[in-house]
Amino acid sequence: MNTFPLAMASEGETVKVIAVTAGKFLIKRLIAMGIIEQTELQIIQREHGNGLIVSRGETRLALGFGMANKIMVMSNGN
């Protein structure tokens, strides 16, 4: 299994969340956003050094670069 931080995913790529390497506060925040293990995300737009915009189903979410670095994902091959 080849995992990497969400911040390293390419624009247009679809990934699956494998783990979150963060504290309780961030984990609770991600759960409230619907980002949990096994969730599929598509990278909509990368903001160089500032973060990225991802979609989870019909919902779009903006994530900061620090937050995206703590979300470990695996490519879905799409």
**Where are the domains positioned within the chain?**
3-75
* Exposed/middle/buried for residue 31 (C-beta within 10 Å: 0-12, 13-18, 19+): exposed
3-75: CATH topology: SH3 type barrels. (2.30.30)
C-alpha distance from residue 8 to each of 23, 29, 32, 37 (Å): 21, 21, 23, 18
pLDDT in tens, 20-46: 998 899 999 999 999 999 999 999 998
Q: Helix (H, G, I), strand (E, B), or coil: what is residue 76?
A: coil
The pLDDT of residue 38 is 93
Instruction: Dump pLDDT digits (tens) for 49-62.
Output: 788 999 998 999 99
The answer to whether 14 and 42 have CB atoms below 8 angstroms apart is yes
Q: What global pTM score does this model have?
A: 0.89
